[in-house]
Amino acid sequence: MRALYTVALRLALPFILLRLWWRGRREPGYREHVQERFGMYTGEKPPKALWLHAVSVGEARAAAPLVRELQRLAPDHAVVVSCTTAAGRETLRQVYANSVRATFLPYDYPETVDAFLAHFRPRLGILMETELWPNLLAACERRAVPVVLANARMSEKSARGYRRWRALTAPAIRSLAAVCAQSEADAARLRELGARRVAVTGNLKFDVALDEQQVQRGREWNARVARPVLLLASTRDGEEKLLLQAIGEADFLTVVVPRHPQRFDEVAEFADARKTEAAVPAASARVYLGDTMGEMAFYYGGADVAIIGGSFMPRGGQNLIEALAAGVPVVLGPSMYNFAEATRLALEAGAAIQAADVAGAVRAAQALLRDPARRAAMGTAGKQLCLAHRGSTARHVEVLSGQLDCSKARARG
């Protein structure tokens, strides 16, 4: 089955290249370092390396506490962090600077993944969340590189897809040296799909520390705005129009921060001002575009209530944990399957409200803006929830340390 998958992938190459070029029109980063996507790398080969793959922005940020622990555990190893998206690569630069070797993961062709592994020679591989590439995992198994699936999640929707292609996916999942699952439900689905040595380690996103200076700047900005602020956080294509139509004329300021930076100019048509042009919007502005990268802590610090994007289309939602950690009351749409466990915990703690549709979410947010006491109670509940669920990094490190010890023993042998 993997051979057929590889044939299909080769046939798709012209379309893959066309898509890469097309995305590069809006995000120039897709036209940079293209050779890395085909297993061609410059620079010295690290003598010893640990490798972590974080597909895009969310995974790159979530991996930060884990990367720091890896650097502490194995200071004589280089840490290589790969990604797939241009925004992910920019996030690696922002979060890690020169402390890691950042690179694009190659396309999943046998020769390109072999070239990647031959160049970096990792002692251990770590894949964040659900990045399971059949040829990559087969090459790692052949080279005796243990691979751990970290912060793993598996929604029922995703599990159905894996079951449908079991002949292809089951060998890849069985090849994993260990799995660190976010919840018992994720662990059960992964075991059913063939994963072995599965441990429930919690969600690494609870361990990510917000930039407190950014949060404080946001609070100071909120005071300068001098009116309630509703944040539409990490919105996806089509959501801004629906949410802003439901909000209509309002006496509060709505701040929109799209999930993908390439959409900033598109969303600007709905805004009266944008952050890159006006540090503080005029009193007459009703919609303000947050068109900067790496400043979500600022936007959460400046918000009185946050509506989490990606949850009003069938896309599974976006990360709500940062908002909870900042003490911001959270309103969610119906589609949060990518953050199912965090959503359940937030709802049970009274830190979030989930609405059935856009209109319901806007009504809930408006009610919160009028109720300071309830906002304060929800904000406190969110902070306490985050504190209570920290520790995932330590549980991950326990699993990874065992795999690293085994890898070192094999290297000596």
Q: Which of 59, 131, 239, 295 is catalytic?
A: 59
207 in any annotated domain? no
333 in any annotated domain? yes
> Are 228 and 364 part of one and the same domain?
yes
> Are 63 and 99 part of one and the same domain?
yes
pLDDT mean over 265-289: 96
CA–CA gap between residue 386 and residue 106 (Å, rounded): 35
CA–CA gap between residue 60 and residue 354 (Å, rounded): 27
For residue 59, indicate whether it is catalytic.
Answer: yes
Q: Is the pLDDT of residue 337 over 60?
A: yes
If you average pLDDT over every residue of the chain, what do you get? 95
Q: Is the pLDDT of residue 413 over 60?
A: no
CATH number of the domain residue 105 falls in: 3.40.50.11720
Instruction: Label residue 404 by pLDDT band (50, 70, 90).
Output: confident
> Are 376 and 397 part of one and the same domain?
no
> Are 196 and 230 part of one and the same domain?
no
412 in any annotated domain? no
Question: For 202-223, what is each residue's pLDDT tens digit?
Answer: 999 999 889 999 999 999 999 9
> Are 359 and 400 part of one and the same domain?
no
Q: Domain limits at 98?
A: 2-202+391-407
Lowest-confidence segment of 94-98, 177-181, 333-337 by average pLDDT: 94-98
Domain count for the chain: 2
> Are 216 and 153 part of one and the same domain?
no
> Are 13 and 91 part of one and the same domain?
yes
Q: What pLDDT is stored for residue 412 in this prediction?
A: 59
pLDDT mean over 319-329: 97
CA–CA gap between residue 173 and residue 168 (Å, rounded): 9
Instruction: Label residue 26 by pLDDT band (50, 70, 90).
Output: confident
> Are 191 and 61 part of one and the same domain?
yes
Instruction: Label residue 310 by pLDDT band (50, 70, 90).
Output: very high
> Are 229 and 267 part of one and the same domain?
yes
Instruction: Label residue 262 by pLDDT band (50, 70, 90).
Output: confident
> Are 16 and 111 part of one and the same domain?
yes
Lowest-confidence segment of 147-161, 224-238, 396-410 by average pLDDT: 396-410
> Are 66 and 94 part of one and the same domain?
yes
pLDDT mean over 286-292: 97
CATH number of the domain residue 239 falls in: 3.40.50.2000
> Are 241 and 194 part of one and the same domain?
no
Q: What pLDDT is stored for residue 405 in this prediction?
A: 73
pLDDT mean over 128-142: 95
